[in-house]
Amino acid sequence: MIHSVLGDNMDDKTMFERLTELHTKNDIGIYYCGKRIDAINHRYGPDIRNHYLFVLVNSGEATLYGEKEIILKEHDMLVMCPGEKIYYKANTPWSIQWIGLYGDTVEEYTKKLGISGKNPVFHVSLYNELEIVMDKLYSLAKSTTAAGSLLQISLVYNFFSLLFECFDYKDNVDCITTAVKIIDYNFNNDITVEKIAKTLHLTPAHLTRKFRAATGLSPKQYILNKRIEYAKELLANTNSSIFEIANSVGFFDQLYFSRIFKIKEGMSPSEYRKQLQ
């Protein structure tokens, strides 16, 4: 008998599945998750899905039919991509787990991993860890609470983090883009060029040269500009004291903050606030 995951007979004692329709604004959605234990003569498809289905082989062996035949073995992962026809037949007793996912983030991560209809199978080096995550997702599928839904989403991110680790994926982000983000999120803390350079495995001088070439400013100037701009925003929109604002933007000496602010803006913080009023 040829059937799809959702088309299985409820009398099939080898199959367990829970529908868990869950979608969040982060564009990762879970349709369902399930498992099949010691199924004999199991076949899947031919079937074309409109979402991603990640199938982890716990034990057994199957033949995946397509342009070329691929043998699915223990601890392999088969990814069924949207719009791709899938048909396989188990050659031995067959145990698998699966999770049906959709959303732009799922598509982005799958592409980064190099998974496609032409390259749908890979061996999982972190099998035990992935099995645990998928078991937890299955256990949570009946949850109707907000806490349960959020935990499921966190487990999906955990699932992908393990896949990226299996592939030893390295995202080649430009170091200056990273440096800018570090400053944007941490300018109100005790951040220095030395600390940023150490994080990026660069010397301070090398970072400064690359940063200036990319932005027209040194890292110190960029940090200072971020601090002053945020200070102006606080002066305009809050009743916080000058001392509180100085601390909020990374200056832990009020007098030094006032002196730097006057150099940059031509007036003291108090004068700037009065002018706005």
Residue range 3-25, pLDDT digits in tens:
334 444 456 777 766 555 555 55
| Ramachandran quadrant class, 209 (left: phi over 0; alpha: psi -120 to 50; beta: rest) | alpha
Q: What is the pLDDT of residue 169?
A: 61
Q: What is the pLDDT of residue 263?
A: 94
When mean pLDDT is compared across 54-58, 198-202, 266-270, the lowest value belongs to 198-202
Q: What is the pLDDT of residue 21?
A: 53
Kindly state the average pLDDT of the residues 247-258. Answer: 92
Distance between CA 27 and CA 104 in Å, rounded?
A: 6
65: Cα separation from own chain's centroid: 32
Question: What counts of helices (H) and strands (E) characterise the chain?
Answer: 10, 10
- Confidence class for position 26, pLDDT limits 50, 70, 90: low
Q: What is the pLDDT of residue 9?
A: 47
In percent, the amount of the chain with pLDDT more than 90 equals: 61
Considering the chain, tell me which residue range(s) the CATH 1.10.10.60 domain(s) occupy: 175-276
Torsion, Cα 6 10 13 16, to 10 degrees, reads 40
Asked whether the predicted pLDDT for residue 234 surpasses 50, the reply is: yes
Distance between CA 63 and CA 89 in Å, rounded?
A: 5
pLDDT tens digits for 133-185?
A: 999 999 988 888 888 888 998 999 999 999 998 887 665 557 888 899 999 99
Q: Which residues pair with 64 in a beta bridge?
A: 70, 88
CATH architecture assignment, domain 15-166: Sandwich (2.60)
Residue 252's Cβ-side half-sphere holds a number of Cα atoms within 13 Å equal to 5
Q: What is the pLDDT of residue 166?
A: 86
Q: Are 164 and 111 in contact (CB under 8 A)?
A: no
The residue type found at 16 is F
Distance between CA 39 and CA 94 in Å, rounded?
A: 5
| Ramachandran quadrant class, 73 (left: phi over 0; alpha: psi -120 to 50; beta: rest) | beta
Instruction: For residue 211, give both structure tokens.
Output: 């940063």
The residue type found at 140 is L
What are the φ and ψ backbone dihedral angles of 100, each rounded to 5 degrees? Answer: -95, 120
Q: What is the pLDDT of residue 67?
A: 84
Q: What is the pLDDT of residue 226?
A: 95
Q: Which CATH class is domain 175-276?
A: mainly alpha
Strand 52-59's sheet: what is its strand order? 15-23, 29-39, 94-102, 52-59, 76-80, 121-123
37: Cα separation from own chain's centroid: 30
Distance between CA 151 and CA 136 in Å, rounded?
A: 9
Q: What is the pLDDT of residue 36?
A: 93
Q: Are 260 and 223 in contact (CB under 8 A)?
A: no
pLDDT tens digits for 39-87?
A: 999 999 899 989 999 999 999 999 999 888 999 999 999 999 999 999 9
pLDDT tens digits for 91-144?
A: 999 999 999 999 889 998 999 888 888 889 999 999 999 999 999 999 988 888
When mean pLDDT is compared across 22-31, 129-138, 195-204, the lowest value belongs to 22-31
- Confidence class for position 220, pLDDT limits 50, 70, 90: very high
